[in-house]
Structure formats: structure tokens, C-alpha cells
Structure 1
Amino acid sequence: MTQFVDWELAASTAATLGGSGPKVTYAVAAETVSELRRLTDEAATHVAEYTGLFPPADLPPVKVVDRADWAAVNIEGLKNLFGTLAPRLTDQQPGFLAGAIGAKVTGAQAGTVLAYLSTKVLGQYEVFSGAPGELLLVAPNISEVQQKLDVDPRDFRLWVCLHEVTHRTQFTAVPWLRDHFLAEIHAYADASKLDGEAFSERARRAFQALSDEKSSILDVIQSPAQKVVVARLTALMTLLEGHAEFVMDGVGPQVVPSVENIRAKFTQRRAGGNPMEKFIRRLLGVDVKMRQYEEGRQFVAAVVGQVGMAGFNKVFTSPETLPHVEELSDPAAWVARVS
């Protein structure tokens, strides 16, 4: 299949436009990396004890990266993702020259979007580049936000680690979850009914939509069948984000002394959620608003309050026990159906 995104151009564009972040000495940078690795291990212990979810012991170590490296990992993941989605959407190919020019345009657009995101993302559990996924922490961004918020460095780093390690725990302690997530994305592609347009053009228009905050990817690619899949993806991603929020707030007061100060200041900073999470949601047509982060947290809190953590963990038994989108606002309905 003809390449429809120039991924090398995307990577070089992201690295150039993303910048390097705050200037620090080598000693400070090395200390930050070392502490983030140590706090990741500490957070993993706290998350496992609090949730009762236990990942395999042989997980890949956390990657503490800079902005360019973060973009490179995500470009590799998007390359894999688009490589599997493209044949499902269409077999049409543009002419060689049109394809080459289109790939350059889309590569530049993708790199520009990822450059912006690389300056905002604090951490991420990346699942597209390969199994079982890998945990990324963006050291310059964590340091920059901590300085801007004027909060305790160690406390803020551990607080971030608690959130991101919870996502890693979700995808690794629940063996079927990653494959199910990818299968839903493939189902979304299979439901596409856009005929007569080369996939390279769709990809180009998709990245244009992603760079326009007023536009939704659903304005570019949608069908009634896809809306059904979108509802399932919305429920799944809201659950996972709400669970991470609930765990972070549950563990935080025990191990992060200044957590209330951090949470208050960070909430003011947050606009629509984790930037990469927002990017993936828009890419998939799941344009979840801020209220759904809170809806997910409230769902988890209500279920744990009714049936305890072990009862809540039944949500991870199989795809059939995941909440339906309407159950997110009616936790008792999920309890009645599953518990």
C-alpha cells in the first residue's frame, strides 16, 4: 500500500517545532530522570495495593523521554495504527505523484500536531506501537508544569506517576483490555461508509480537523454504524480515565502530603483533559468533554461505595462487563446488571 503519511517528515517536524523545554543542567536533568523512575516503582506498589489489580512482574521499564522522543514513539504507534486501518477503509490509491505530495502534506500536518502535544503531555501509556504497550513520562514537561504551578517537586512527580501507572495497570493487569481496545478501533474502521475518496485524502483532512479546535473528526468521517462503536469507545475511555482519577485521588492523601494544593492548581490548568488523550479521542471520533472525566470518576466512586473495590473490579472481567455509555450516569444500573 502506498504510504499516505511521510512519517519521517512528521518526526523531524515534531522534533523541530516541539523545542526542548526548560533549560536545566545535566545534573538536574539526571536527578529528575532518576527520581521519576524511582517514583514510578513506588507508585506501582501504591496502585496495586489500592486497586487490587496486579500486573505481570516482567513489564518493560518506564521510559523517561524528552519531547522529540515522545513524538517519535507516538509516530511509530500511529504508523502501526494507520497501517492496519487503511486497508479496512478503502483499496483506492492515488496516483504516484499525487500520493507522494499528499504524504508530505499529511506528514507535515501530523508533525505539527504532535509538536504541540509534545509540549503539553506529562505522561502516557502508549498502546499502539506494540504489546503490551509502554509507559512514557515526559521529563521536561513535568518539570515545567511543576515550576509554573509552584508546587513541591517530589509530590508533583509522584502524583503524575500515580495517574499514569494506573493506566499501565489497567492495560497490563487486565490481559484482554488492549486487544479489545484495538478491536474496537478496527470495528470503527470497518463501519466506515465513505466511498470514492482515496484514504490519503481522508488522512489529510483528518489531521486538518485535529489542528482546528473548532472542528470535530466526526465532521470528517462518520456513519450511523460508527456512532454505535463510538458509544462503546466513549464508555471505555471515560471509565479508564475516571478510574485513574479515582485512584490518584484515593492514594494521593496517603503518600502525597501536598496533594490538595496540587489538585487545586492543576485543575485550574487542565482544559479538556490530557492533551494526548484528547488527540486520540478526536482521532477516533470520541470528542469527550471535561464533564466526562468527572462522570467517569463519579461512576467509579459510586460503584466502589456500593460494592467495594473487589465488586468494582468485576468491570474488568470481560468486554461484556464494561459499562454501557448510559450506565456511566446510572451506576446502580451497572451494579444490578453485573454485580
Structure 2
Amino acid sequence: MSDEPDNPDNPFKGTPFEAMFQQFSGAAGAGGTPDLNAIFAQVQQLLSGSTDGKPVNWELAKDIARKTVSTAGDRSMTSADGDRVADAVRLAEHWLDEATTLPEVSATSAAWSRAEWVENTLPVWQTIVDPVAEHVAGAMGNALPAEAQQFAGPMAGMLRQLGGSVFGAQVGQGLGELASEVVSSSDIGLPLGPIGQAILLPDNVAKFAEGLGLTDEDVRLYLALREVAHQRLYAGVPWLRQHLLAAVADYAAGIEVDTGKIERAMADIDPQNPEAMQEALAGGLFEPEDSEQQKAALVRLETTLALVEGWVDDVVREATRDRMPAAIQLSETVRRRRAAGGPAEQTFATLVGLQLRPRRLRDAANLWAAVRDARGADGRDNLWSHPDLMPSTADLDDPIGFAQHAGELSNIDITDFLTDEEKNPSDPGSDKDGDGDKPTK
């Protein structure tokens, strides 16, 4: 019979999809043989609205994110919102001129609604999430033995499409919730918005300020200082953006999937109940297992993000010294927000399974402060000139020791680290190594 474990008519026998096949084969054809057409028709019913073969259904993600934002409450920005942000950004740029050697880059500023944040940051989220989703889908496909491949083609394609919808729903929900928290385009440390444009979300800034007992102007200016500092760093350090995104891609490349978990989840799925299937999948079916490659990539990403945030902390602290008494309270509020599981932690954990450790952020801020005390702002900022000069994870454990030899690093001729193409770029928009990475415009 088709529902027996040793049924030879089940092409997925011994795979994570065996139980699912048995569930679907309840409507068997003549002689008890599973009717593949009926099975595939049932699965196809679950795929309505899915996109064709992409690792994530981004149209669904955007739709769910916008609906989540709308349900939570959102409004269109006014010219007054834009003017207040522009004033804060102008003053922030002036203050930062004395705190960092990285030049001003915020030629424009903008006030975004939550829906605008979703719309405008989605392309970067695609870059972050797609590699993870792609490798999870591939790992699931690789769980099928060779003898099942002739049957697996249609089923695997449909499962991939279903997976794209499940990922899309998860991403959309996560981004919709995040849109109600982030105060700027750089709030999670990554360059999600346009380089060179300082962005604040006024409604979220007001939410951040609740209960602090501070003026709206002080809170807005402090968050503008952080946003502008991020913008200066990402514009002034061309390799940084790709360095971070490459760490996410490296993480994705090491994904391993717990096929036993898939099998157990599939055994409990009712194929006649699409909501039950989506709940089972969204409940962790696609969560990757840690591998050594993933752990190494996570350390790399953790360290770089910590260095970014630590540098911003140090620069803003110097810019507000003797100017903004409220900066001490605001800085502590930002740190508590991180430690409690702020936007960065929640988003990475939900979307790509990456856990960030707030402890590293404080360590990085201490390191940059130690370097500045020992070598000045120039010595601190010059370390961003090449990734090989950057502090390592071990350096975060010994900021004083790193600061003591940072002067030796600042005296290194950076051209020694550059390739011939980097020294003499013939075409700034070319991609000669074929990895798809081009300079950020």
C-alpha cells in the first residue's frame, strides 16, 4: 500500500519528503498507485501567488511589510518634517567636522515614513537575504537521492516555490516590524539607504524619545549625528559595504540543513490545509544548522559591525563633548536598546539566523577611544584605509595593546596592499574578477 514505509511506489522513500509524499498520496489512482497528477495539483494549490523559482518572493515580502506598517500606524511625511531633519543634519555635519577626518558627504537629507523605509531599503535586504534562502533551498534539494530525481523535478520545483513564499512571508513580517523601530537608514549598522543621503524616520524618532525627558531637538540632533557619522564612514571607506555583504554571503555558503527536522515536520503536515503547511515551514523548517564556515563568517560580520558602531560611538561622543549634556543619557539609551535586543539583533536573527553580540560593540567603542587617545583622530580614521589594517576580534579583547601598536600600522604604505587594478583603475565601473561586485555609486 502506498502508506506503508516500504512502499516501492514512493519515489521519495528514505528522504525528508517521504512522509509528505505519503500524506499527499491519499488520493491514489487505480490499484493503489499514487496519482502524481493529483499530488502535484494539490501542491500547486498551495503555491497560488508565488513567484517563479526565486529564493524569496519579494513581492509578497513587500506587501506583507507594508500591511504590517499600515496596521501599526503610519503617515505621510510633511515639508515640516523634512525641514526639521535637514536642520538637524546641517548642524550635525558642522559638529562632526571637528571630530573626524572623514569628509562631509550628506549632500541631501530626507524624512521617511515607515512605508518609505520598507520601499527604499528592500534592494539591500534582497542582497542580504537571497544568498541564505538560495543555499537553504539548494540544501533541501540535495537531500533527495539520485533515484528520486526523475520524480523530484516537478515536486522540488514546487517546494522551492513554496519556500520562496514562506521566506517572503517571514521577511515581510520582520521588515514590517523593524520599520516601526529604526530611527534612521543606518540604525542597524548596515548601509540600507542611499550613500550620501542622511535619513531619519520622524515618527520613530519621537517613539525613541518617549520617557527620556529631553527636548525633541536634542534627540533629533543626536540621532542625526549618528546617521551622518555612518554616512561619512560608508562613503569614505569604499571597501566596507561589500566587506559586510560578503560576510553574509560566506555565511550562506556554509549552510547545512537538518533533514531529520524536515522529515518530522513533513510527517505532521496536512496537505489539505495550506495554513498548517505554512505554519510548519515558518516554524523553523528552513532554519540552517551551524557549520564551521558559518561560525567563522559570523565572527567576521560581528567584528566588522562592532567596529562600525564603536567608531560611530566614539566620533559622536567627541562631537558632543562640551556641547550637548544630553548626549551622555542618549548614548546610554542607545546602548541599553542594543543590549535588550535592538533592531540589528532581531532582524538578523529573524531573517538570516545571525546573532549579534552587543558586548562587542562596547569593546569596539573602547578600542577606538584608546586609539584616538594614543594617535589622535587621524590615526584612528586612517585604520579604515584598508581591511588588512583593521582591528581583529582578538584586538577587541585588548584595546590598549592594539592602540599601542596602531601607530606602526598608520605608517604603512597602503599601496603595498593594493593590486595593480586597484592602483590604476582603468574603468571604475568594471567588474574584471567576475564576482559581480561594482563600486557603490
TM range (shorter): 0.7 to 0.9
Q: Residue 111 of structure 2 aligns with which residue?
A: 64
Q: Residue 18 of structure 1 aligns with which residue?
A: 69
Matched, 1:118 2:186: no
Q: Residue 168 of structure 1 aligns with which residue?
A: 231
Q: Residue 328 of structure 1 aligns with which residue?
A: 396
Rounded to whole Å, the distance in 2 between the matches of 1:88 and 1:8 is: 20
For the 8 Å contact 1:21–1:144, the answer to whether it is kept is no
Q: What SS does the corresponding residue of 1:157 show, helix, strand or coil?
A: helix
Matched, 1:106 2:167: yes
Query: Cα gap change, 1:286/1:310 in structure 2, threshold over 3 Å: closer, same or farther?
Result: farther
Q: How does 1:28-47 map to 2 (within 5 A)?
A: 29-47=78-96
Q: Residue 202 of structure 2 aligns with which residue?
A: 139
Rounded to whole Å, the distance in 1 between the matches of 2:349 and 2:395 is: 20
Offset of residue 11 of structure 1: 1.6
For the 8 Å contact 1:36–1:64, the answer to whether it is kept is yes
Q: How does 1:181-220 map to 2 (within 5 A)?
A: 181-192=244-255, 220=288
Offset of residue 7 of structure 1: 1.6
User: Which structure is larger by alpha-carbon Rg, 1 or 2?
Assistant: 2
Question: Percent identity between the aligned chains?
Answer: 24
Query: Cα gap change, 1:5/1:120 in structure 2, threshold over 3 Å: closer, same or farther?
Result: same
Query: Cα gap change, 1:194/1:48 in structure 2, threshold over 3 Å: closer, same or farther?
Result: farther
For the 8 Å contact 2:174–2:350, the answer to whether it is kept is no
Q: What SS does the corresponding residue of 1:62 show, helix, strand or coil?
A: strand
Query: Cα gap change, 1:133/1:40 in structure 2, threshold over 3 Å: closer, same or farther?
Result: closer
Rounded to whole Å, the distance in 2 between the matches of 1:206 and 1:296 is: 38
Return the structure number with greater helix share.
1
Structure 1 stretches lacking a partner, 5+ long: 210-216
The amino acid across from 2:112 in the alignment is V
Offset of residue 129 of structure 1: 6.4
Query: Cα gap change, 1:277/1:318 in structure 2, threshold over 3 Å: closer, same or farther?
Result: farther
Offset of residue 22 of structure 1: 7.3
The amino acid across from 2:182 in the alignment is V
Matched, 1:287 2:355: yes
Structure 1 ranges of 4+ moved more than 6 A? 20-24, 128-131, 195-198, 204-207
Q: Deviations over 1:147-176 (max 9, x none)?
A: 442311111101001112111111101122
Q: Root-mean-square deviation (CA), in Å?
A: 3.6
Matched, 1:301 2:369: yes
Total equivalences in the alignment: 323
Q: Residue 212 of structure 1 aligns with which residue?
A: none
Offset of residue 279 of structure 1: 1.9
Rounded to whole Å, the distance in 2 between the matches of 1:208 and 1:260 is: 41
Structure 2 stretches lacking a partner, 5+ long: 1-51, 142-152, 267-278, 411-441
Query: Cα gap change, 1:304/1:169 in structure 2, threshold over 3 Å: closer, same or farther?
Result: same
Q: What SS does the corresponding residue of 2:99 show, helix, strand or coil?
A: helix
Q: Residue 276 of structure 2 aligns with which residue?
A: none
Q: How does 1:53-92 map to 2 (within 5 A)?
A: 53-55=102-104, 57=105, 61-83=108-130, 90=138, 92=141
